């Protein structure tokens, strides 16, 4: 009977090779299906869904009004308005709501709708044309087209009752189209002045003050002063000396006491403190996601005015003297509307210095008529005008519709397009930097490098230090030693000084001799004797250098310079400066301001477009 044998390595290799060959045959006979058509079909279905939503949403009232104007709606706006659900691509991811959109544009005879879809697997768009038969009811307006000859012909549509088909034929009817544009002109409005000025006619005037500073006048004068001291008598061998009268007194003072000191090593202890860890920030910066948005507002109505100068009316007038006229002509006086000449004197005088013939000379005063009192202003002479701004007359004219600053005309609304940036696609950890248009994620870590050891709270570290301290009653020196001061003492007493310990101080009591001399004598240098003075006693000023002996006195005369300052009349002295405040008047030409007045002009033309003009939507048959 044969014994069973186990599989050898050779058998295993043969079986493995057969399995591999079998797998390759399966792959060759049954290849993987091509999923690309399926992916394309999912993308096409999604873009058709957006197109269908747009065509149902853009009714006549929502379509753009002007030729070449457009309206756009993003996929996000569709979802927000519950018009469509989020779209998913073949990868199982949602398509971009901000980048995907539908846009409808009005052309001359039709509309174009563009549908753009952006997904992770594909980005593409379709364009579809549709006209009156797509968007209007049976009562829709006939659309006009342009013929090759440059005029607009009429396309008519006829529906056959039996078949329901629409046939078209071209007629020779020519139409004119109405266009409009705004023509604006600037007209003078008024004069204006800078802040602080007031208007006088066409001049701006400001009254103020100015501080004038000049150096004060310096005045130097000599000042003489005399100092007097008692002269000292000269003591000689013949001078009578007597003993001074002396007594014993005590003078008290204080000095630091001496002491002994003992030095010890300070006690040492280890202290662990919780301190702030090192803070390290790292940044991940990405570009912010830009979304272009449009904001619509209504037009503003601007009332235009016609402005003219009001009539000036004064309550009265007076005659003001202007000049004198001397002449030999008589009967020159007159009274006019604004001027008069009045004779005030006459006299005879020789024709010349040596002549005997005389002549009559007449003296006239010339007067000018000027307004008396403040003027008032009136618009009575201008029907429809009313007083405005004190001295102007204005009348309301046209009302112009304009867009606010930063907005442009966009059909029946004013629109502005702006870019908005966000970090929504990166998550809430990213913060927007508007100025740099970036999204930044800040990651903060902490470490205890160079500080100590880490704690359970990563923001803090344990810092271990060694400190020294002294027991109570001892003082710290040199940072790590303790010293004790003790056994205070005072110096030994002497014949003239006694010492008393008082804490850390010594009270010193010093014995001194105080001597004095009777009247008619002076104390000598040794303070122990008195020199009797009489009429023969001589005196000296040798102890006072620069002084001159004058009897029993020593005198010294000194001349010094004294500096003073003064100002001219009208100025005030302030130290070494003279100050005066004067009134000032500044005048300058006033600035003219203008207002823009606009009016709408209309024009008919057989052309379907004119540069600089806007089509109103009105047309008429051209005869």
Token pair of 138 as six digits: 């049976």
CA separation for the pair 600, 611 (Å, rounded): 16
Q: Are 533 and 233 in contact (CB under 8 A)?
A: yes
Q: How confident is the model at residue 464 (pLDDT cuts 50, 70, 90)?
A: confident
CA distances from 56 to 100, 134, 140, 142 (A): 18, 11, 17, 22
Q: Look over the chain and give the mean of its residue pLDDT values, rounded to a whole number.
A: 81
- Tens of pLDDT, residue by residue over 379-415, are 998 999 999 888 899 999 989 889 988 899 988 999 9
| Dihedral class, residue 23 (left if φ above 0, else alpha if ψ from -120 to 50, else beta) | alpha
Least confident stretch, 76-85, 524-533, 565-574: 524-533
Residue for token pair 């606009």: 598
Tell me the mean pLDDT in the region 179-189. 78
Question: CA–CA separation, 603 vs 229, rounded Å?
Answer: 118
* Beta carbons of 80 and 73 less than 8 angstroms apart: no
- Report residue 54 as tokens: 């747009």
Residue 102 is predicted with a pLDDT of 94
**pLDDT score at 166:** 36
Please state, in angstroms and rounded to a whole number, the distance separating the CA atoms of residues 249 and 239. Answer: 30
When pLDDT is averaged across residues 536-559 and rounded to a whole number, the result is 85
pLDDT over 80 at 144, yes or no: no
Flag whether pLDDT at 147 surpasses 50: no
Per-residue pLDDT at 543: 80
Q: How far apart are alpha carbons 518 and 245 in whole angstroms?
A: 8
Which of the 8 DSSP states describes residue 81?
T
Instruction: Please report the pLDDT score of residue 6 as a whole number.
Output: 57
pLDDT higher than threshold 60 for residue 146:
no
Backbone angles phi, psi at 599, to 5 degrees: -140, 150
CA dist 178 and 605 (Å) reads 7
Return the closest-CA partner of residue 123 out of 83, 96, 141: 96
Are the CB atoms for 529 and 244 separated by under 8 Å? yes
CA-derived radius of gyration, the chain: 58
Q: DSSP labels for 357-405? A: -EEEEEEEEEEEEEEES--EEE-TTSTT-EEETTTEEEEEEEEEEEPPT
Per-residue pLDDT at 34 exceeds 80: no
Model confidence over 228-242: pLDDT tens digits? 988 887 777 666 778
Q: How far is residue 193's CA from residue 173's CA, in Å, rounded to a whole number?
A: 62
Give 38 or 473, the one with higher predicted confidence: 473
Query: What are 353-386's pLDDT values in tens digits?
Result: 788 888 899 999 999 988 887 888 899 989 999 9
Nearest to 124 by CA among 53, 36, 43, 51: 43
- pTM of the shown model: 0.26
What is the average pLDDT across 497-516?
A: 89
Across the range 254-272, mean pLDDT stands at: 86
What average pLDDT does the segment 166-185 reach?
65
Instruction: Identify the weakest region by mean pLDDT among 281-295, 425-439, 574-588.
Output: 574-588
Q: Which stretches does DSSP call E strand in 423-504?
A: 431-433, 438-447, 453-454, 460-469, 475-477, 481-489, 497-502
Q: Output the pLDDT for position 32.
A: 56
Q: To the nearest whole percent, how much of the chain has pLDDT over 90?
A: 13
**Residue 414, both tokens:** 């004013």
Among the residues of 232-385, which ranges form H helices? Answer: none
More confident residue, 469 or 535: 469
DSSP H or E segment with residue 464: strand 460-469
The SS3 assignment for 406 reads coil
Is the per-residue pLDDT at 533 higher than 60?
A: yes
The DSSP element (H or E) to which 555 belongs, if any, is: strand 553-566
Of the ranges 157-161, 432-436, 522-526, 602-606, which is most confident? 432-436
3-class DSSP state of 16:
helix
Task: Choose the most confident range, by mean pLDDT, from 183-192, 247-256, 587-596.
Answer: 247-256
DSSP 88: B
Instruction: Please state the rounded mean pLDDT for residues 215-226.
Output: 87
Q: 616 φ, ψ to 5°?
A: -85, -15
With 80 as the cut, is the pLDDT of residue 570 above it? yes
Tens digits of per-residue pLDDT, 421-445? 889 888 888 999 988 889 999 988 8
């Amino acid at each position: 009977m044969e014994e069973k044998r186990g599989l050898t390595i050779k058998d295993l290799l043969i079986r493995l090779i057969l399995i591999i060959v079998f797998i390759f045959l399966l792959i060759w006979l049954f290849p993987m299906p091509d999923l690309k058509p399926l992916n394309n079909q999912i993308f096409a279905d999604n873009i058709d869904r957006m197109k269908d939503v747009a065509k149902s949403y853009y009714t006549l009232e929502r379509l753009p009004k002007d030729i070449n104007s457009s309206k756009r709606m993003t996929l996000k706006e569709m979802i927000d308005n519950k018009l469509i659900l989020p779209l998913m691509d073949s990868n199982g991811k949602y398509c971009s709501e901000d980048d995907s959109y539908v846009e409808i544009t009005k052309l001359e005879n039709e509309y174009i709708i563009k549908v753009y879809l952006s997904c992770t697997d594909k980005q593409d768009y379709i364009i579809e044309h549709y006209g009156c038969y797509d968007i209007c009811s049976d009562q829709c307006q006939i659309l006009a087209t342009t013929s090759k000859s440059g005029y607009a012909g009429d396309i008519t549509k006829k529906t056959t009752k039996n078949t329901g088909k629409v046939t078209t034929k071209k007629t020779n009817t020519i139409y004119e189209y109405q266009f409009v544009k705004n023509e604006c002109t600037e007209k003078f409005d008024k004069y204006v002045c800078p802040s602080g000025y007031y208007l006088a006619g066409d001049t701006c005037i400001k009254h103020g003050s100015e501080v004038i500073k000049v150096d004060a006048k310096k005045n130097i004068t000599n000042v003489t002063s005399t100092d007097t001291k008692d002269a000292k008598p000269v003591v000689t061998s013949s001078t009578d000396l007597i003993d001074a009268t002396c007594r014993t007194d005590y003078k008290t003072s204080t000095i630091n006491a001496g002491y002994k000191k003992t030095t010890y090593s300070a006690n040492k202890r280890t202290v662990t403190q919780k301190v702030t860890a090192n803070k390290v920030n790292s940044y991940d910066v990405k570009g912010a996601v830009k979304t272009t948005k449009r904001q619509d507002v209504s037009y503003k109505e601007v009332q235009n005015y016609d402005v003219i100068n009001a009539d000036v009316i004064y309550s009265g007038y007076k005659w003001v003297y202007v000049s004198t006229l001397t002449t030999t002509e008589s009967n020159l006086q007159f009274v006019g509307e604004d001027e008069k000449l009045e004779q005030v004197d006459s006299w005879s005088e020789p024709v010349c210095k040596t002549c005997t013939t005389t002549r009559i000379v007449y003296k006239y005063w010339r007067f000018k008529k000027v307004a008396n009192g403040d003027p008032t202003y009136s618009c009575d002479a201008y029907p429809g005008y009313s007083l405005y701004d004190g001295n102007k007359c204005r009348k309301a004219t046209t009302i112009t519709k304009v867009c606010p600053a930063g907005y442009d005309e966009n059909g029946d609304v004013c629109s502005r397009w702006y870019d908005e940036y966000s970090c929504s696609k990166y998550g809430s950890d990213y913060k927007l930097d508007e100025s740099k248009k970036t999204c930044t994620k800040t990651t903060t870590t902490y470490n205890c490098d160079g500080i100590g050891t880490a704690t359970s709270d990563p923001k803090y570290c344990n810092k271990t230090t060694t400190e020294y301290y002294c027991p109570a009653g001892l003082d710290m020196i040199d940072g790590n030693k303790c010293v004790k001061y003790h056994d205070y003492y005072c110096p030994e007493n002497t014949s003239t000084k006694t010492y008393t310990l008082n804490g850390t101080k010594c009270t010193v009591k010093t014995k001194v001799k105080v001597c004095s001399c009777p009247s008619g004598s002076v104390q000598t240098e040794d303070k122990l004797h008195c020199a009797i003075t009489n009429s023969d006693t001589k005196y000296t000023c040798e102890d006072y250098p620069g002084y001159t002996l004058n009897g029993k006195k020593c005198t010294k005369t000194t001349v010094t310079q004294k500096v003073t300052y003064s100002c001219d009349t009208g100025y005030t002295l302030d130290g070494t400066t003279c100050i005066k405040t004067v009134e000032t008047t500044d005048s300058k030409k006033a600035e003219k301001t203008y207002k823009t007045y606009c009016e709408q002009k209309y024009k008919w033309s057989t052309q379907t477009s004119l540069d600089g003009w806007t089509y109103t939507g009105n047309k008429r048959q051209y005869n």
